[in-house]
Amino acid sequence: MTNKTDKDLSQREVFRLVDACLNRLREGIRVLEDISRFIYNNKEISKKLKDLRHLSRVQDYTQYLQTRDIIGDVLKENTESEFARSDIASVILANFKRSQESARSLEESFKLIDPKEAHKFKHIRYELYDLEKNF
């Protein structure tokens, strides 16, 4: 494994990380939103999730999108556990964790790019913690 210092780390690499985490965050929230809306018919939680998904937008998304490298992703293959869901509760748990972890990664990444955005993703993460408790 190669350890990179801040000096070695390019903006492109950080932007690639942000692109992947933004996708993962919005995808996880969307799954939760759809379950809340179409399975549980919970308008309040569905609305909160939709609002968080919209809050997760960033200015000039194309600068992050341009750094996407699916072919170069060293862990793009799925693991067996990603296909193992026993019930709707396991789907909910997996997507809350996916979203929370992505929000944390975005919070840390944006500390290098735009601290104001870092605060936004911290807020999203804590909102997801609260929603998970009440889902």
Q: Which of 65, 47, 66 is nearest to 57 (CA)?
A: 65
CA distance from start to end of the chain: 40
Instruction: Indicate the pTM of the whole model.
Output: 0.86
pLDDT of residue 4: 57
Q: What is the pLDDT along the chain (135 residues), one digit of tens a residue?
A: 456 555 556 898 999 999 999 999 999 999 999 999 999 999 999 999 999 999 999 999 889 988 887 777 777 776 666 677 899 999 999 999 999 999 999 999 999 999 999 999 999 999 999 999 999
pLDDT of residue 80: 66
Contact 33, 128 (CB under 8 A): no
pLDDT of residue 84: 79
Helix (H, G, I), strand (E, B) or coil at 7: coil
